[in-house]
Structure 1
Amino acid sequence: MAGSANLNVMMKTARKAGRALLKDFGEVEQLQVSTKGPGDFVTRADRQAEETIRNELMHARPSYGFLGEEGAKIAGEDPTRRWIVDPLDGTTNFLHGLPHWAVSIALEHKGQAVAGVIYDPVKDEMFYAEKGGGAFMNESRMRVSGRHRLIDGLFATGLPFAGRSDLPETLQDLARLLPAVSGVRRFGAAALDLAYVAAGRYDGFWERRLKPWDMAAGLVIAREAGAIVESLTKDGDPLADGTVICANNDIFAPFAKVIRKD
């Protein structure tokens, strides 16, 4: 696919950050056996990746704004365009040596995500999309799954940790959904969960208390692959309220009915 200049910049930047993180990931795997542990090292790797991404993107588009997970927030001269970046989605996986994490970069225009790139360096999988242009993984066009029945579907979510207050809601979700589907997975990287819905690997995904950088790129990729993507509040905005539910057209309605308790 021949993407726009912006998309090409995003993909090049994601690859550059991903290569550096992949080298760091090799070090993390060695640090697992040390008494000190890899925590401080991963924090530095995360911040360095965001700095690399910020420098690349701001050099290419100096008038755009920037919002990054690690605290970088720049108000650009162009108030309508902003980069939204998670330099390392799946930090806990990375910290524990689990090979499931990604670099996520989105371009927002007038409050809407219009382009997204999610790069998994371990598998060398680049998921990307622009509004109106379809969704791709490497050179292949992506479409959501063709499953029609909830009972055949495989779904993904996040699980609350460290005493988060949304644990009871999530447990209730699982109690309603698990008897009605073929399985639920928790892989620990929301950006990749959305990309996997786009690729047809999952049939649906939902989660609460996400940040814009967790899902901005994934929202446009999933939509361009044919997914219905909404907030858990029917008239809400996922980027604004931090909740998301998505699935293919046939499964979305029964899936949303279970999760939303309609």
Structure 2
Amino acid sequence: MPQHLYILTGASRGMGLAMAEQLLQPGNALLCLSRHTHPLLATAALQADVPLTQWTHDLADGEGASARLREWLSRQNPQDFASASLINNAGVIPPITPLRQSQPADLSLALRVGLEAPMALSAAFLGATENWSLPRKVLNISSGLGRFPMASQAGYCAAKAGLDHFTRCLALDEALHANGAQVCSLAPGVIDTDMQVQLRAAAGEAFPDQSKFLQLKAQGQLSSPAQAAEQVLRFLARPDFGREPVADVRG
């Protein structure tokens, strides 16, 4: 029976790991790209009898990752799949500091992983599957910080803002084709992940908004990675997915 193919980046921790765990359901097939594989995922996939492939790949090398994905997809039989979805989840938060104190290497890494790699992977995914007649989706995991500016966060905010706008452009491209992919850049809400730990631990003098993140934690307003993953995957499964190219799980 044809399976639903999911290609997921940043699947080794946080919300990405939670999404991978929740996608290990009968009828699915999962390809994960992360800097590290996760042994518990392999065990869970065996128990669920779900095909799982884990690639170790640093997404700072978006060109290499996209070439690898394109080649892999070219060897697949589209008749084996009922649908295909790419979830660009991986991201990097550079050191929390004003731009004038930022290091070029840190800014470059944030943009490579958070913007360049999703663009390259989306191009590979859509190019390799353009003759597949099945439904295809691209889900880019964005952030409210791509839509609202924040001091000492220029690199991360720029990457997420770029992700949103490239998705708008991609939606226009795909709308020109009879079987174009449905695409969306989705903000997943505020999640208690390693990024939140970084934000709360930042030096107050370098990060004027630190108190806001401390307050979110203290008041229990953060979603767990599992809760956020469930919301994101529910959004991906909606029949109107892609109607708006930029969206938020909170509506």
Settle same-fold status: TM greater than 0.5: no
Greater share of strand residues, 1 or 2?
A: 1
State the TM-score, normalized to the length of structure 1. 0.27
Greater share of helix residues, 1 or 2?
A: 2
State the TM-score, normalized to the length of structure 2. 0.28
Q: Which has the higher contact order (CA 8 A, sep 6+)?
A: 2
